[in-house]
Structure 1
Amino acid sequence: MTLVLTGAPEAEPVTVSEAKSFLRLAGSSEDTLIEGLIRAAREDVERATGLALIDQTWRLALDAVPRSDVVLLMRHPVREIIAVTAYGTEGEAALVSAGDYQADLISRPARLFFRARPEPMRALNGLEIDFRAGFGEAGPDVPDLLRRAILVLVAHWYEFRASFGPDEQPVAYPPQYERMIAAHRDRRL
């Protein structure tokens, strides 16, 4: 099972001007640095929580439909199933009809239940599921606590830009950041 980002977000949940205001910075000499810190902080929040903050497209490649006939989509929230493609033994692509599967986009993780298994499929990466995930197209669509977690992480990384030794750690993550994202982490039994 491989999950690949096929379409990156077109915006960030936090703007450079919002971050500069939070950092109490004037001028534009460090805008490029702040822009990079925002992107890195968003990616870190997404990695730690399993969320897609701003709309983005993903492809899940599987060798086969699981025995349970249920495929889990490990990005949340899933907004749309774009396409399900099965590859035959000779590599020919065939779109799987939407009537052959049922999508549960409310659950976390989102699920696809296959009513009819596409077969025969090639042995490796025989099934691809393309989907769109995210809270929306712009920063205000993202939960406020996650936007603030990004700002806290940007500020922390901005302040501690120099290198630190192992005996001076942890400086990578402020404690309030961990508390802010804790409620959004995907918990499993």
Structure 2
Amino acid sequence: MTSTRLLEPAAEPVALEDMRAHLRLTSTEEDTSLAGYIKAARSHIEQSTRRALIAQGWRLYLDAWPDGRVVRLPVSPVLSIDQITVFDLEGTPVALSPNDWTLDRSHHPERLKIKLGAGLPASKMLAAEIDFTAGYGPAAEDVPEDFRQAIRMLAGHWFEHREAGSELSVATLPHGLDRLLSTARVPLL
């Protein structure tokens, strides 16, 4: 099982104005750097928690249906299942109907149950692809505040400690970030 992001987020959870206010900057001279730190902080937090913050498109590749035909999606929260495609022995793609599966949002990571008899992947490799949209929503306001605060903390830390070095503050993540994210981690599959 492999997954890849197909569509990057259209926005970031923290606006430049918010980041400037957090850092008490009055000038826009550092905006290019700040935008990079915000994006890097979002990416780091998404990877460490296995969550998508802003809506983004993903594809999960499967070589076969798992036991019980229950597929655990690798990124949470799932906003929608966009398409499920299975491949026959000749590699011909066949899209499943939404009636052929059920999305269970009560678990993290979310699960998909494929109905018996629906989509019998026959290929020995790349038997199925599941396209889905993950994230809290398309806008920064959709992202829970604890994630937004974590992005501000991490981006601010990187802004203040730009150069590599041996100081403890440079070698570690900001104090409190781990505690802020500890309850938000989605379990490994």
Q: Would the TM-score normalized by the shorter structure come out above 0.5?
A: yes
Name 2:81's counterpart in structure 1: 81
Task: Name structure 1 gaps, 5 residues minimum.
Answer: none
Report SS of the residue matched to 2:176. Answer: helix
Summarize the Cα distance change of 1:181–1:127 in structure 2 as closer, same or farther, 3 Å threshold: same
- Which shifted more, 51-60 or 174-183? 174-183
Does 1:60 pair with 2:26?
no
Q: Is the 8 A contact 2:108 2:187 kept in 1?
A: no
Match of 2:182 in 1: 182
- 2:148 corresponding residue in structure 1: 147
**Contact kept? 1:101, 1:116, Cα under 8 Å:** no
Identity among equivalent pairs (%): 39
- For the 8 Å contact 2:83–2:132, the answer to whether it is kept is yes
Deviations 1:17-54, CA, capped at 9 Å, x for gaps: 11011011122221110000000000111011111100
Q: Name the stretch that deviates more: 111-120 or 8-17.
A: 111-120
| Backbone CA RMSD of aligned residues | 1.6
Instruction: Give me the whole-angstrom Cα distance separating, in 1, the residues matched to 2:149 and 2:121.
Output: 48
TM, length-normalised to structure 2: 0.93
| SS of residue paired to 1:175 | coil
Deviations 1:130-184 (A, max 9, x none): 011111111111110110010000111011111113xx34633012111111110
AA of the residue aligned to 2:149: R
Between the aligned partners of 1:21 and 1:146, the Cα distance in structure 2 is: 17
**Paired positions, count:** 187
> Counterpart of 1:136?
137
Q: Where does residue 104 of structure 1 map in the other structure?
A: 104
Cα offsets for 1:74-125 (capped at 9, x unmatched): 1111011100000111111100122222211232111111112422421111
Structure-1 separation of matches of 2:120 and 2:183? 40
4+ residue runs of structure 1 moved beyond 3 angstroms? none
Rounded to whole Å, the distance in 2 between the matches of 1:64 and 1:169 is 46
Letter in 1 for 2:44: D
Q: 2:39 maps to what in 1? A: 39
Structure 1 Cα separation of the partners of residues 62 and 188 of structure 2: 22
Question: How far apart, CA to CA, are the structure 2 residues paired with 1:114 and 1:103?
Answer: 9
